[in-house]
A and B are shown apart, each in its own frame.
Chain A
C-alpha cells in the first residue's frame, strides 16, 4: 500500500514536470508552483528524495529554476543556503531541489555546463559544514532550527541524504577550516564561532580525521575552560573554589586560561571569574592572567589603577570577549595616548541617551545586573584592543566598520569623542565643504533596520555614521566622477589621501583605460615602482566581490593596511575586510588568506597582482607617485586578463 502511494506521488510529479516541459519558455513560471508542490510531497520520505535526485537534470532543464535565484548554480553561495532553507514555503522547496541538483552534479549523474563535479562537491561540503545543526539535530535545539513540522522534517531528511551521498570526514575538515579561518581573524563578535564549535563538538563522537578531532577539542576547551580547577565547574562554584587557592595555584590557573585565550581569541566564562577575583585580591597576577607582552606589561604597570577600574566596570561574564580585547589593548599601549584615558573615563559616567541605553541593554540577555555604561565600556575595550576585529555583521555597512577600525588604530581620541556624542546626545556631526551635517537630522542610510549582532560600539555608532555616509554620497552625486573621491576624505578624515582613481567611467558606466588604472596603482603602491614610499595610514579602497566561480556579486569596501613581502618573498597586499568572512574564494584561484602569510590577526592578504585584479577604486598621494611606465606590460596584461574574465564580463570595456 505504502509503495503504491509513493509511485503515485512520483507519477504526479512527473506529470507536472511534463506539463512544464511542454510549455513555452516564457510561461514556465506559471507551472513552477505546481511542480514545486508535487516535489514537496515527494520530500516527505526518503524514496521520494532519491526519486527527485534521479530527476534532477530533468527538472532543471524543464525550467523549475528559470528566472529564480537558483537559475545559475555557479552563482549560488553556500552561506545563503541556510537562510533559504529556513525561509519556508516554496523558497525552502526550491532550495532543497537546488541541493539535490548539486548532488547530481557532484556525483556525475548530471553533467552540467558551468559547474564541475569538484565545484559541486566543495559547494555541498561547505553547505553541510555550515548547517551542521540540521545534520545533527537535538531535541533541545528544535526551537532554534526554525521551521516547524513538515518543513523541518524535510530539511533533516535532505541532510541525511547529503550525508549518505557525501562523506562526513570531508565535512569535519571543512568545518575545522571554517572555524580556524574565523579564529585567525580574531573578530570581536564570536557568536558564530561559538555556535560552530558547539556543533562541531558533536562530530567528536563520529569517525573523523584525528587532526580535526584535535582542533575541535582545542576550540571546545577554549570556550568551556578546562583548567585544572575549572573543569566541570559553573561560574558560581568556580568563584568559591578560587577563594581558597594559594597564589601558586591561582598563577597556574591564570597561565592556563591565558594560554588558550591567546591561542584562540576565545574567552571562557571562568577566566572572567578568575580575572575579576585577582583584580581585587592579587592584582600582581593580572599580567599573567592576560599573558601580556613586554609592552603590555609596561602599559599595565603604568596605568594599573585605571586598568583595575576598567576590569571592575567593563569585564563581565556576558561580555567576556572584552577580556581578550583588554589584553590586546594593553599590548598595543594605547592607554599611553593622552586622550584615551580621559576619553574612556568619560564613558564610565556618561549620561546615556535613552535610546542608547535601550539598544545596549538589549544586546545582552536581561537579568544580568550589568549597566548600559558597563556594556559600552566593554565595547570600547574590544574596539581599542582589536581594531581589525571590528565587523559589519549582517549589515551592508562595510564603509562605517572601516571607519571605526581606522580611528581605533590612528585616532582613538577622535573615536572616543564620536562614541560619547552618539551615546549621550543621539547625534554625530561632520562638516562637509563648509556645511555641518547632523546625523539626527537625517532620515535614512544604507540600512534602515540594523541587524543587531554587532559589538556595542558599532551598535551605537553605525546608525549615525551610516546616515552621514549616505548623505555625503547624496551630496556628491552628479559631479562627473565617483562619489568616493569626495566622500572618503570627508568621512574618514585627513588620513585619507586626496588623489583618487576609479576603474569605471562614471559617465558611461564602462571600463575605460584599465591599463592606465593598473599602472597608476602599481606606481603609487608597489614598492618596486613607487620609490619606496610606505603606506602610512590604511587606504580605503573599493573592490569587486566575485564568487568562487569568478562571477561578480557586487561592490565592497575594504582597507589596504600595508604592503609587504611575505615569508616566500612575494609582495602581498594586506587588507582589512570588515565582513570577517572565513572562507573567501574569489574565483580564478584568488583566495585571500587570513593566516600563514604573516598576516596580523584580522588582516586578509593576497599577492599584489591578484588584489589589483579585483580593485575598483583607490586613493593615492599625488606627491608620492613613482614610475608607472616602468611596470612590465606582462604584469598589466595578466591583471587585465583576470579582471576581464571575472567581474569584467558584466561590464563594457572601452579601449582608449
Chain B
C-alpha cells in the first residue's frame, strides 16, 4: 500500500469529514403518516367504556368494542357489537406487537379500519393494530411514546420542552448515584435537607409506582427489587395541572385545564381564575408538545408543573381518557360530550363539519364542576354516610355512593387505588368548590 503524504486520521481530517456527512441529512424525529387509509369501515374501541359506547351509538358510526370476554354477555344482551379478546399481561411491548397479529387478522375480517384506545394499557394495542392496518411498524413505536415514561421524557426534551433531569435505573445503587449527583449539582450534598427526587414506574397510570425519595434511607425503605426497572427524576416545584387537549389534523380543537385541587382526590374544571390566567402559556407549551410528539389526531392528557417563576415544565402525557371523572366535569360545564369528541378526534376520517357540530369553538364554562373521589378508610365497612351539611350545600350536585359490596377493604399500597364512589359538585364560586373538595379528605364516607 502506497504511503500518502497526508495524515488521514488526524482530528482536523475526521472532524471535517463528519461535518460533511451532516449536510443534506434529515435530522430529528421521524415524521410518520397519521392518515387512515381507505380500508375497513369500522372503528374498534379497544377497552370497555359505557360512555364511549353510548357516544359512538349516538353518532351512529360503525364500530366494534374489543374487550375481555367477561363483558360479552352484557354486550350481547344489549346488542353492542363486541369482539372478545384477552389482552393478558404482556411482559414487554414487543410481545403486544407479536400477539396483535392474530387480533388484527380477525378484526380485518370484521371490516375494522382503525383502532382507538380507551385505557392506558390499550394504547399499545391500538398502536399495534393501527401499525398493521397502515402497514407501518413506526405507528406502533409512536404509541409507545405515550407509554414508556423515559422515552416520553427524552422525546419531550429533544422537542424543546422543559423537563427535569432524569435517568432510567435498574437497581437501588443507581438511584443512590442519581440522588447524589442531582444534589451535588444543587450544592446540597452536605445539606441537612437535600432536594427530593422522584421514582416512577416506567409504564403505570396515575400515581401507581410513584415514590418520593427524600434521603438515601428512603431508597432502602421505599423501594424493593420489584420496583425496578424504573425512572428517577429531579423534583419540579410548582403547581401541578392537567390538560385535556382535543386534536384533529394537528390543531387544537378544544383545550381544557383541570385543577388538581387535592392530588389523588379532587379535580375542578375549569380551574380557578388564578390558574386559568396561565392559559396562553399552557397553550403555547401544548403546541410545542404536539410538534415534539408528532401528534395529528386524538385526545391527549398531559400534566404540567407551573413554577413560581411562571415557567411551564412538562411532567408526562397520556393518550387516553383521563381518570378522576374529568370528562364528566367537562361535560357538566362546557355542555358537550367529551367522550364523543375523543372518538371524533381520534379518527382521521372525521370531517370538519362533524367536529364543529360536536366540539364548541369558544371556551365558555357554566360555573365550576368538581369531583371528589371517595376511598374507604376503615378496614371493615358496612354502610355509607354522607355529611349532611355537604348534601344540603347549594353546590352539591350528586354522589354515586352505594353500600359497599365487599365489607373488608385492603389497601393495595400502590397508587391511590380504586375509589368506591364519587361526590360531584357544581357552582359558580371556584373557591367554595375548592374548599368543599378539600374539607372531606378525612371524613369516613364508608363506615
Please indicate whether A and B come from the same complex rather than being unrelated chains.
yes
Which residues does A use to contact B, with CB under 8 Å? Answer: 23-27, 29-30, 33-34, 37, 84, 86-92, 94, 146-151, 448-449
Question: Chain A's nearest CB lies how many Å from the CB of B335?
Answer: 14
- Please give, as numbers and ranges, the residues of chain B lying within 8 Å of A148 by CB-CB distance: 385, 388
Q: Which of B38-46, B248-256, B392-400 contacts A (4 or more CB under 8 A)?
A: B392-400
Q: Are B401 and A90 in touch, CB under 8 angstroms?
A: yes
Chain A residues whose C-beta falls within 8 Å of the C-beta of B408 in the assembled complex: 448-449
Besides A88-B383, A88-B403, A449-B380, 9 other CB < 8 A contacts?
Answer: A26-B50, A26-B53, A27-B54, A89-B384, A90-B384, A90-B399, A146-B383, A147-B383, A149-B388
* A91 engages B80 (CB within 8 Å): no
DSSP class of A's interface residues: helix, strand, loop or mixed?
Answer: helix
Contact A27-B384, Cβ < 8 Å, known A88-B403, A91-B403, A449-B408:
no
Of the candidates A26, A92, A94, A449, which one forms a contact with B78 in the assembled complex, judged by CB atoms under 8 Å apart?
A26
A91/B384 in contact, CB under 8 A: yes
**Residue B438 lies at the interface, judged by CB distance under 8 Å to chain A:** no
User: Within the assembled complex, what's the spacing in Å between the Cα atoms of A132 and B227?
Assistant: 56
Assess the B384–A37 pair: CB atoms within 8 A.
Answer: no
B54 contacts A33, CB within 8 Å?
no
Contacts of B385 in A (CB 8 A): 88-89, 147-148
Chain B hits for A449, CB < 8 A:
380, 407-408
Q: B400 to chain A: which residues have CB within 8 Å?
A: 33, 90
Residue of A nearest to B385 (CB): A88
CB neighbours of B383 from chain A (8 A): 86-89, 91, 146-147
- Alpha-carbon separation in the docked complex, A86 to B388 (Å): 15
A161 to B80, CA, bound (A): 41
Residues of B within 8 A of A30 (CB): 50-51, 54
Q: Which residue of A lies closest to B53 (CB)?
A: A26
Judged by a CB distance under 8 angstroms, whether B428 is at the interface is: no
Closest chain B residue, CB of each to CB of A32? B400
B53 contacts across to A, CB distance below 8 A:
26-27
Cross-interface CB contact of A88 among B75, B78, B380, B386, cutoff 8 Å = B386
B380, B382, B408, most chain A CB atoms within 10 A: B382
B214 on the interface (CB 8 Å rule)?
A: no
Interface hits, B47-81 → A, CB 8 Å = 50-51, 53-54, 57, 74-75, 77-78, 80
Q: Is B391 an interface residue (CB 8 A)?
A: yes
Is A89's CB under 8 angstroms from B386's CB?
A: yes
Is B159 among interface residues, defined by CB-CB distance under 8 A? no
When distances are taken between beta carbons in the complex, the residues of chain A under 8 Å from B384 are: 87-92
Residue of A nearest to B55 (CB): A27
What is the CB-to-nearest-CB distance from B400 to chain A, in angstroms, rounded to a whole number? 4
Alpha-carbon distance A91/B386, docked complex (angstroms):
12
Q: Are B380 and A37 in contact (CB under 8 A)?
A: no
Contact A24 to B403, CB < 8 A, known contacts A89-B421, A449-B408 = no
CA distance A27 to B77 in the complex (A): 12
Contact with A along B111-141 (1 / 0, CB 8 A): 0000000000000000000000000000000
A604 smallest CB distance to B (angstroms): 30
A23 contacts across to B, CB distance below 8 A: 54
Q: Is the CB of A89 within 8 A of B391?
A: no
B421: A residues at CB distance < 8 A: 89
Whether A24 pairs with B398 at a CB distance below 8 angstroms is no
Determine if A91 and B50 form an interchain contact, defined as CB atoms under 8 angstroms apart. no
B443 beta carbon closer than 8 Å to chain A: no
Contact: B399 with A87, CB < 8 Å? no
Contacts of A147 in B (CB 8 A): 383, 385
Q: B440 within 8 Å of A by Cβ?
A: no
Residues from chain B with a CB closer than 8 A to the CB of A150 are: 388, 391-392
Question: Which residues of A sit under 8 angstroms from B77, Cβ to Cβ?
Answer: 26
A159 to B303, CA, bound (A): 51
Any chain A CB within 8 A of the CB of B278?
Answer: no
Partner of B54, one of A24, A91, A92, A151: A24
Q: Is the CB of B50 within 8 A of A87?
A: no
Residue in B closest to A36 when the chains form the complex, CB atoms? B398
